[in-house]
Amino acid sequence: MALHSAAVSFCCVSFNPQASLFRQCSIKPSRLSSPSLLRFRIQGKAVESGNGPFEVDDSSLVVCFGEMLIDFVPTTSGLALAEAPAFKKARRGAPANVAVGIARLGGASAFIGKVGEDEFGYMLANILKENNVNNEGMRFDPGARTALAFVTLRKDGEREFMFYRNPSADMLLQEAELDFELIRKAKIFHYGSISLITEPCKSAHIAAAKAAKEAGVILSYDPNLRLPLWPSAESAREGILSIWDTAEIIKISEEEISFLTQGEDPYDDNVVRKLYHENLKLLLVTEGPEGCRYYTKEFSGRVKGLKAEAVDTTGAGDAFVAGILSQLALDTSLLQNEDRLRDALRFANACGALTVMERGAIPALPTRETVLKIIKQTHV
């Protein structure tokens, strides 16, 4: 059977998890690493950097919750999906990208989510392990497949998505499957909004965030708007805002500000301040190569970005989030010191800039040494 969908739509596309195409292509789990072999715990380590050893341990752990999936990207760039002659696979999922990004920077990170008990699912779990991300919180669903997405950047600059996840394993994570011990030991608990779209994952998300909050863990939120995955624009707006007031750190893009405020000017500070709430410690607005804006209760400002020749912008926002969270996990007092916060944001901007210079989100995520080197060279 061939994969098929409505040709005119880039929305959630239904597929049968037991379809013969997937049966023919799959390899029995026994040929792959077993779930028990994929479980491991990060130990404290020292990573060499331009400023000497960078000490991390579980006291600075960032736990990322959400989706991890396989992207199929055209081998020829600049074409619409229907025109692409062939596709190659890539690994994606904003929370997983952030977890890998933090580990690359020498930090301690973990990922909680669900994939299919299939070759792609075990491949993704192994990728996390290879990148020093704690994957103890991953679960494998024998009845649903790992999510797939076909994505391309057309010549006109518009990105097209076609998702195969109805239902995919990430949508089926249940509260009973959560590793609450891992969540409660985190310094920061980071998540997006895609896990809020359907049950049972929505309830699992809310329970995980509640447990983190009760344990004194800082909640970090990147809405990461993906309209094609939501039933409607209004449901997306309501879903994203439903947990808005619980987050203590929020990263948002200019486009997301316009969407959430229903068309208001994302460059107007008064508009942005409407999204600030009393529980928030830091609101960040990313502006691509222009850098970012920051807002706290006491101060606000802008930090210039690094100019970089963009090859692939996929994962740049996730790299930025990894950069700032890796700094905050080590020292949350940055939130009270504007000069030091600005330094941390320069670091985060450099992470994003380096990521766009290479293809693929996870392969392009930089090391701490590389980030410090480009900051020194560019004097940002």
DSSP 2-35: -----TT--SEE---TT-HHHHHH---GGGS--H
Question: Quick one: pLDDT at residue 379?
Answer: 64
Q: How many Å is the Cα radius of gyration of the chain?
A: 20
Whether 333 shows a pLDDT value over 60: the answer reads yes
Whether 309 shows a pLDDT value over 80: the answer reads no
Question: pLDDT band at residue 101, thresholds of 50, 70 and 90?
Answer: very high
Span of 39-43, 70-74, 201-205, 329-333 with lowest mean pLDDT: 39-43
Mean pLDDT of 140-167: 84
Question: Quick one: pLDDT at residue 22?
Answer: 30
Question: pLDDT band at residue 360, thresholds of 50, 70 and 90?
Answer: low
Whether 328 shows a pLDDT value over 90: the answer reads yes
Cβ burial 12-28 (10 Å sphere, 16+ → b, else e): bbebebeeeebeeeeee
Model confidence over 172-186: pLDDT tens digits? 999 999 999 999 999
Whether 366 shows a pLDDT value over 90: the answer reads no
Mean pLDDT of 113-132: 96
